[in-house]
């Protein structure tokens, strides 16, 4: 009953830092190793098996704005704590890949063993590496729709030549870590930039998407539209389709985002969900409507509500 912990995304110029935490328990999954040594196809297949068979798992996320504010060292600590808090199953030992005990200042710190290359040696740490890598890569792939032209699917935020050229041409996005030396020169421009309504909406939807991914959802579509209806986010969790409306408010002076979901809006959401299921040729599937209220600058999730 080992809780294995590993991080992904320490070095990229853009995107979140993600820490995985896994207790395999009695599960024996063939092929577990350092996620970087696996093909994408193999990682994706193992990710499904880990989520299905592990006794418990969690993912801790720290996004670029928070990382810039607290620094990389504290971001690693915070992401690790967030991942561990999601693991509800019992375990007797904690192994963290590397040499630093990121739980040292918590009650669990005394049970930690740090081990370099643990993702090659300890199956639960390998599993943690894999689910963190797949979750982060999937998230970065979604960013191509939000921020076209950067090629996030290909380089997932690392400082490749193609990424560098895209930044020189298009500038930086909210995904970029301006505390990293190669991007520090963009801080003044970002500080003085006025965001459009679309940019603010995109950031809110990205925040909501991250919330769902962290909660174990597989994102199927963002901004699915027809001439009859539209849905902000379509996701799948535990064989149930979720149709989520994202509502952003700069502040709560005129009510929260949930206040905007009227009976009429719920009817529109229900129609859109049923239309999507029909278009996909699906029958007898689980369906849930949900709303995520997002507020603030930068945007953060205020509340999540399932409607049906």
Do 53 and 134 share a domain, yes or no? yes
Whether 181 is covered by a domain: the verdict is no
Q: Which domain holds residue 202?
A: 197-306
Q: How confident is the model at residue 35 (pLDDT cuts 50, 70, 90)?
A: very high
Q: How confident is the model at residue 308 (pLDDT cuts 50, 70, 90)?
A: low
Q: What is the pTM of this model?
A: 0.70
User: Cβ atoms within 10 A of the Cβ of 27, count?
Assistant: 17
pLDDT in the model for residue 256 = 60
Whether 18 is covered by a domain: the verdict is yes
What CATH number does the domain containing 203 carry? 3.40.1350.10
Among 29-43, 81-95, 135-149, 177-191, the least confident range: 177-191
Residue 9 has pLDDT above 60, yes or no: yes
Q: How confident is the model at residue 300 (pLDDT cuts 50, 70, 90)?
A: confident
Whether 163 is covered by a domain: the verdict is no
Whether 149 is covered by a domain: the verdict is no
Residue 121 has pLDDT above 80, yes or no: yes
Do 269 and 204 share a domain, yes or no? yes
Do 134 and 211 share a domain, yes or no? no
Calpha distance 82→71 (Å, rounded): 16
Whether 164 is covered by a domain: the verdict is no
Whether 127 is covered by a domain: the verdict is yes
* Mean pLDDT of the 21-30 span: 94
| Edge-to-edge strand ranges of the sheet holding 2-8 | 56-62, 17-23, 2-8, 93-97, 112-115
Checking 135-140 for CB contacts under 8 A at 24+ apart, the result is 135/18, 135/20, 135/47, 135/59, 135/213, 135/214, 136/8, 136/9, 136/15, 136/16, 136/18, 137/40, 138/213, 138/218, 138/219, 139/15, 139/16, 139/18, 139/209, 139/210, 139/213, 140/15
Supply the mean pLDDT for the chain: 89
Whether 220 is covered by a domain: the verdict is yes
pLDDT in the model for residue 50 = 96
Do 104 and 235 share a domain, yes or no? no
Whether 85 is covered by a domain: the verdict is yes
Do 14 and 120 share a domain, yes or no? yes
Nearest alpha-carbon partner for 41 in 130, 109, 107? 130
* Mean pLDDT of the 174-194 span: 81
pLDDT in the model for residue 258 = 67
Calpha distance 82→263 (Å, rounded): 35
User: Cβ atoms within 10 A of the Cβ of 168, count?
Assistant: 8
Q: How confident is the model at residue 41 (pLDDT cuts 50, 70, 90)?
A: very high
Residue 42 has pLDDT above 70, yes or no: yes
Identify each DSSP E strand in 209-239 by its residue range.
218-225, 230-237
Backbone angles phi, psi at 227, to 5 degrees: -75, -10
pLDDT single digits (tens) 206-229: 888 888 888 888 888 888 888 888
Residue 123 has pLDDT above 90, yes or no: yes
Q: How many domains does the chain have?
A: 2
Q: In the listed set 114, 141, 168, which residue is the last one of a domain according to the structure?
A: 141
pLDDT in the model for residue 245 = 92
Do 235 and 128 share a domain, yes or no? no
What CATH number does the domain containing 36 carry? 3.30.420.10
Do 13 and 128 share a domain, yes or no? yes
pLDDT single digits (tens) 96-105: 999 999 999 8
pLDDT in the model for residue 80 = 95
pLDDT in the model for residue 152 = 96
Do 205 and 132 share a domain, yes or no? no
Q: In the listed set 141, 172, 187, which residue is the last one of a domain according to the structure?
A: 141
Residue 167 has pLDDT above 60, yes or no: yes
Calpha distance 144→114 (Å, rounded): 36
Backbone angles phi, psi at 6, to 5 degrees: -150, 155
Nearest alpha-carbon partner for 294 in 286, 304, 284, 285? 304
Most confident of 130-144, 176-190, 225-239: 130-144
Nearest alpha-carbon partner for 232 in 240, 244, 241, 220? 244
* Mean pLDDT of the 264-280 span: 90
Residue 170 has pLDDT above 90, yes or no: yes
Do 109 and 231 share a domain, yes or no? no
User: Cβ atoms within 10 A of the Cβ of 201, count?
Assistant: 18
Do 118 and 201 share a domain, yes or no? no
Q: In the listed set 126, 141, 156, which residue is the last one of a domain according to the structure?
A: 141
Residue 236 has pLDDT above 80, yes or no: yes
% pLDDT > 70, the chain: 94
Do 202 and 130 share a domain, yes or no? no
pLDDT in the model for residue 274 = 93
């Amino acid at each position: 009953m080992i809780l294995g912990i590993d991080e992904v995304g320490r070095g990229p110029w853009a995107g979140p830092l993600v820490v995985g935490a896994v207790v395999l328990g009695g599960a024996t999954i063939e092929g577990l190793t350092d996620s970087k040594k696996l093909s994408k196809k193999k990682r994706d297949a193992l990710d499904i098996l880990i989520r299905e068979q592990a006794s418990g798992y969690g993912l801790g996320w720290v996004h670029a704005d928070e990382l810039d504010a607290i620094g990389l060292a504290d971001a690693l600590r915070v992401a690790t704590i967030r991942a561990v808090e999601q693991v509800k199953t019992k375990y007797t030992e904690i192994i963290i890949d590397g040499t630093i005990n990121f739980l040292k200042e918590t009650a669990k710190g005394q049970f930690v063993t740090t081990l370099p290359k643990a993702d090659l040696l300890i199956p639960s740490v390998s599993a943690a590496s894999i689910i963190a890598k797949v979750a982060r890569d999937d998230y970065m792939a979604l960013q191509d729709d939000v921020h076209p032209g950067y090629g996030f699917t290909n380089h997932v935020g690392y400082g490749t030549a193609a990424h560098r050229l895209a930044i020189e041409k298009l500038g930086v996005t909210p995904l970029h870590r301006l505390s990293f030396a190669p991007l520090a020169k963009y801080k003044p421009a970002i500080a003085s930039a006025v965001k459009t309504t679309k940019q603010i909406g995109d950031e809110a939807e990205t925040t909501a998407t991250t919330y769902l991914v962290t909660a174990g959802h597989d994102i199927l579509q963002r901004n699915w539209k027809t001439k009859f209806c539209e849905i902000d986010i379509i996701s799948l969790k535990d064989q149930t389709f979720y149709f989520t409306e994202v509502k952003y408010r700069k502040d709560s002076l005129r009510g929260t985002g949930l206040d905007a979901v009227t009976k009429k809006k719920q009817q529109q959401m229900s129609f859109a969900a049923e239309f999507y299921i029909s278009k996909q040729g699906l029958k007898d599937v689980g369906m849930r409507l949900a709303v995520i209220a997002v507020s603030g600058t930068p945007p953060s999730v205020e509340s999540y509500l399932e409607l049906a």
